[in-house]
């Protein structure tokens, strides 16, 4: 049974032990509208390459778990409508039944791990939703970070989530939440928040060493790196907060639930900011791709055990 299908470029990099950075596909299909999603996907890959690493965008196409997509495959995914959103529970079912779907952070981590890729760049992770005490809506991304040994570079979690509760759950699960270069937790569109970051690291080499140290100690799970959005592209917290509140109210009024919640909120926030949130989103993903490539380079230079 072939577990995954690497692109020729990814296969060569994995064979040679050169740096590889995994990229998710739900951000393409559910996170941004066409054609900006396609443009973002291409720019992220180019940024990883500029950083000396090979990009591996992950998705399930007709049941095959692809690790590294061709330009045509990315284009088809970016244009497709009603693509399934595959998290941990859905991934094997989609593969067994020949379906096409985009991988979330959780499913991308699983695929990366299966392929031997240790670093993954994205925008934002899923977390504990506001009102989770009623809805129980907690993303499977958090459990995945506790189990799967991949270092995930994000820009913090979106304030569509309950950030303090998200931090509490990650702490319970033993996931290191590491702010890059600052003491506060970045909050996706905003570079800072009023939440102190549980951990701080200032260079890619140290992040790579901590990744190796977890493995050496026999600890399962990965690391979450929260990399602040570049100031020039940031939206101040005071500006974005009322927009988020309005989008959440609308989601509740419309009865949006479960997997549909995150895509609905992202779409409404984009509309309510007149597209500005999208520019911020693209800038922070590129920034995360740069840091992930550095970490991957440090990891490939470091001994495997
Ligand atoms: N947060 C974002 N952008 C995204 C997502 C989350 O800022 O595109 C996507 C990611 O793929 C993440 C998923 O893994 O949504 C989380 O979905 P859920 O909350 O249903 O687990
Ligand atoms: Mn959910």
Dump pLDDT digits (tens) for 165-174: 999 999 999 9
- Among protein residues, the one with the nearest Cα to ligand 1's atom 11 is 104
53 lines ligand 1 (CB under 6 A): no
Is residue 63 domain-shared with residue 145, that is, in the same domain?
A: no
Is residue 61 domain-shared with residue 193, that is, in the same domain?
A: no
Domain containing residue 22:
1-117
Is residue 144 domain-shared with residue 55, that is, in the same domain?
A: no
User: Can you give the CATH number for the domain in which 168 is found?
Assistant: 3.40.1790.10
pLDDT at 288 over 70: yes
Answer for the pair 53, 296: CB distance below 8 angstroms, yes or no.
Answer: yes
Is residue 104 domain-shared with residue 230, that is, in the same domain?
A: no
- Among protein residues, the one with the nearest Cα to ligand 1's atom 16 is 126
- Among protein residues, the one with the nearest Cα to ligand 1's atom 17 is 126
Is residue 123 domain-shared with residue 98, that is, in the same domain?
A: no
Q: What's the confidence (pLDDT) of residue 68?
A: 98
Q: What's the confidence (pLDDT) of residue 2?
A: 80
Is residue 270 domain-shared with residue 179, that is, in the same domain?
A: yes
Angle separating helix axes 276-301 and 204-216, nearest 10 degrees: 60
Last residue of a domain, one of 91, 117, 143: 117
Is residue 123 domain-shared with residue 250, that is, in the same domain?
A: yes
Q: What's the confidence (pLDDT) of residue 59?
A: 98
pLDDT at 115 over 80: yes
Looking from the CA of residue 262, the nearest atom of ligand 1 is 19
Q: What's the confidence (pLDDT) of residue 303?
A: 43
Catalytic site residues?
Answer: 24, 158
Which-ligand-closest: CA of 258?
2
Last residue of a domain, one of 101, 117, 133: 117
pLDDT at 145 over 50: yes
87 lines ligand 1 (CB under 6 A): yes
Last residue of a domain, one of 102, 117, 132: 117
Distance 294 CA to ligand 2 centre (A): 31
pLDDT at 302 over 70: no
Distance 78 CA to ligand 1 centre (A): 16
Q: What stretch of H or E contains 20? A: strand 20-23
Is residue 59 domain-shared with residue 201, that is, in the same domain?
A: no
124 lines ligand 1 (CB under 6 A): yes
User: 259: pLDDT confidence band, cut at 50, 70 and 90?
Assistant: confident
Distance 235 CA to ligand 2 centre (A): 25
Please provide the average confidence, as pLDDT, over all residues in the chain. Answer: 95
Q: What would the pLDDT profile of 69-102 be if each residue is shown by its tens digit?
A: 999 999 999 999 989 999 999 999 999 999 999 9
Prediction pTM value = 0.96
Probe ligand 1: pick from 84, 90, 102, 141, max atoms within 8 Å of CB?
Answer: 141
Q: How many domains does the chain have?
A: 2
Q: What's the confidence (pLDDT) of residue 300?
A: 93
Probe ligand 1: pick from 26, 135, 157, max atoms within 8 Å of CB?
Answer: 26
Looking from the CA of residue 30, the nearest atom of ligand 1 is 8
Distance 126 CA to ligand 1 centre (A): 5
Calculate mean pLDDT across residues 288-294.
98
Is residue 55 domain-shared with residue 149, that is, in the same domain?
A: no
Which-ligand-closest: CA of 188?
1
Q: What's the confidence (pLDDT) of residue 305?
A: 37
pLDDT at 36 over 90: yes
Is residue 61 domain-shared with residue 108, that is, in the same domain?
A: yes
Question: Distance between CA atoms of 34 and 93, rounded to whole angstroms?
Answer: 27
Q: What's the confidence (pLDDT) of residue 159?
A: 80
Is residue 205 domain-shared with residue 265, that is, in the same domain?
A: yes
Q: What's the confidence (pLDDT) of residue 223?
A: 98
Calculate mean pLDDT across residues 120-133.
95
Strands 54-61, 64-67: pairing is: antiparallel
Question: Distance between CA atoms of 124 and 291, rounded to whole angstroms?
Answer: 15
- The stretches of the chain forming alpha helices (DSSP H) are 8-16, 26-29, 36-50, 71-79, 91-96, 105-115, 132-135, 140-147, 163-173, 204-216, 237-253, 261-272, 276-301
User: 304: pLDDT confidence band, cut at 50, 70 and 90?
Assistant: very low
Q: What would the pLDDT profile of 242-256 be if each residue is shown by its tens digit?
A: 999 999 999 999 999
Q: What's the confidence (pLDDT) of residue 301?
A: 82
Is residue 264 domain-shared with residue 126, that is, in the same domain?
A: yes
139 lines ligand 1 (CB under 6 A): yes
Q: What's the confidence (pLDDT) of residue 84?
A: 97
Which-ligand-closest: CA of 85?
1
């Amino acid at each position: 049974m072939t577990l995954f299908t690497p692109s020729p470029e990814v296969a060569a990099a994995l064979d040679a032990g050169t740096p590889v950075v995994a990229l998710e596909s739900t951000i393409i299909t559910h996170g941004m509208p066409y054609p900006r999603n396609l443009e973002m996907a291409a720019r992220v890959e180019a940024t990883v390459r500029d950083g000396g690493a090979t990009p591996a965008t992950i998705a399930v196409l007709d049941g095959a778990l692809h690790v590294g997509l061709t330009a045509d495959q990315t284009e088809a995914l970016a244009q497709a409508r009603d693509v399934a959103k595959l998290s941990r529970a859905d991934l094997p079912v989609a593969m067994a039944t020949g379906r096409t779907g985009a991988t979330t952070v959780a499913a991308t981590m699983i695929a990366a791990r299966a392929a031997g890729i240790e670093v993954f760049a994205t925008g934002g992770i899923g977390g504990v939703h506001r009102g989770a005490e009623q809805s129980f809506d907690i993303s499977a991304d958090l459990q995945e970070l506790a189990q799967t040994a991949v270092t995930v570079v994000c820009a913090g979690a979106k304030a569509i989530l309950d950030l303090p509760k998200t931090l509490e759950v990650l702490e319970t699960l033993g996931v290191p939440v590491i702010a890059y270069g600052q003491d506060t937790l970045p909050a996706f569109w905003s570079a800072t928040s009023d939440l102190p970051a549980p951990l701080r690291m200032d260079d890619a080499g140290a992040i790579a060493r901590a990744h190796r140290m977890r493995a050496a100690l026999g600890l399962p799970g990965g690391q979450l790196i929260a990399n602040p959005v570049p100031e020039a592209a940031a939206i101040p917290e005071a500006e974005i907060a009322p927009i988020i509140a309005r989008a959440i109210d609308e989601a509740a009024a419309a009865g949006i639930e479960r997997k549909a919640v995150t895509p609905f909120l992202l779409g409404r926030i984009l509309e309510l900011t007149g597209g500005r949130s999208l520019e911020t989103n693209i800038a922070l993903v590129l920034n995360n791709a740069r840091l992930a490539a550095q970490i991957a380079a440090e990891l490939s230079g470091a001994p495997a055990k």
